[in-house]
Amino acid sequence: MGLFGKDETGSVQLDRALLPRHVAIIMDGNGRWAQKRGMPRSFGHKAGVEALRGIIRHSDDLGIEALTIYAFSTENWKRSAEEVGALMGLLLEYFTRELDELHRKNVCIRILGDIGDMPKGLERQQQALYAAMEKTRANTGLKLNIALNYGGRQEIVRAARMLARKVQAGEIGVDDIDMAHFEAELYTADLPEVDFMIRTSGEIRLSNFLLYQLAYAEFYQTDVLWPDFDENAYDEALLAYTKRNRRFGGV
């Protein structure tokens, strides 16, 4: 086993062999980050996108196989039109600006969530998302999954509906339905198991994120607000993961 822990300068040394294959992140705290600075919430979202760039880059450098980030929940539509508009605008900007670089880095982008059912006026964002998935579909590097208009309960209900259709069409029998069939209908089909789930900003709840997939994930929470979650904070989290003892119900 290689060296891991902190070296004499205090920087984190990670044993790459022990890193998670699939990391999921609830990027939380943008609004509070902005409010602390007397700025509008959208300012925090802008800073949050910058933090995200760094975390994607670092995941890629570390050779992490899959990164799933919670960008917008099915419940986030409750926010003001101004805030939703700012978030969607940032998204479009991000995909337009970064797509070529992500593609060069062989990143494969997948959207988890119902992007076919977005409110009117977001057609450009929808197109940008479809274009990003299409362009990077065959890439074999980092699997970057963006949960957008995503709800874990909705995802599970949708999977049940898809299976019911297959039964109705005579493609499978009721008794054929097992975990493999069910998982094949989730947005995360064919991705490795989620090993590690990070939530920033001190909240300790799932907020409807990956309810099925997190069954045996290790959880990590930090008080750091998302815009401040930099590579060092990420390394700290990953270091904590490498020290966990995962038992999966065994001893």
> By C-beta, is 136 or 200 nearer to ligand IPE?
200
Q: Torsion angle of alpha carbons 127, 113, 25, 216, nearest 10°?
A: -150
155 near ligand IPE, judged by CB under 6 A: no
Within a 10 A sphere around the Cβ of 62, how many other Cβ atoms?
A: 18
- Host H or E run for residue 233: helix 231-242
Question: What is the Cα–Cα distance from 162 to 124, expressed in whole angstroms?
Answer: 28
The window from 9-17, 70-78, 124-132, 239-247 that contacts ligand IPE (CB under 6 A) reads 70-78
Q: Looking at 49, 52, 55, 87, which residue binds ligand IPE (CB under 6 A)?
A: 87
Q: Looking at 14, 28, 149, 239, which residue binds Mg ion (CB under 5 A)?
A: 28
26 near ligand IPE, judged by CB under 6 A: yes
Question: What is the Cα–Cα distance from 151 to 148, expressed in whole angstroms?
Answer: 8
Question: What is the Cα–Cα distance from 121 to 224, expressed in whole angstroms?
Answer: 34
Of 15, 76, 114, 230, catalytic: 76
28 is an active site residue:
yes
Write out the binding residues for ligand IPE, residues 188-207 only, by CB under 6 A: 201, 203, 205, 207
83 near Mg ion, judged by CB under 5 A: no
Please enumerate in sequence order all residues whose Cβ is within 8 A of that of 65, keeping only pairs 6 or more positions apart, or say none: 21, 22, 142, 143, 192
> By C-beta, is 163 or 197 nearer to ligand IPE?
197
Positions touching ligand IPE (CB under 6 A) are 26-32, 70-73, 76, 87, 201, 203, 205, 207, 226
Residues annotated as part of the active site: 28, 76
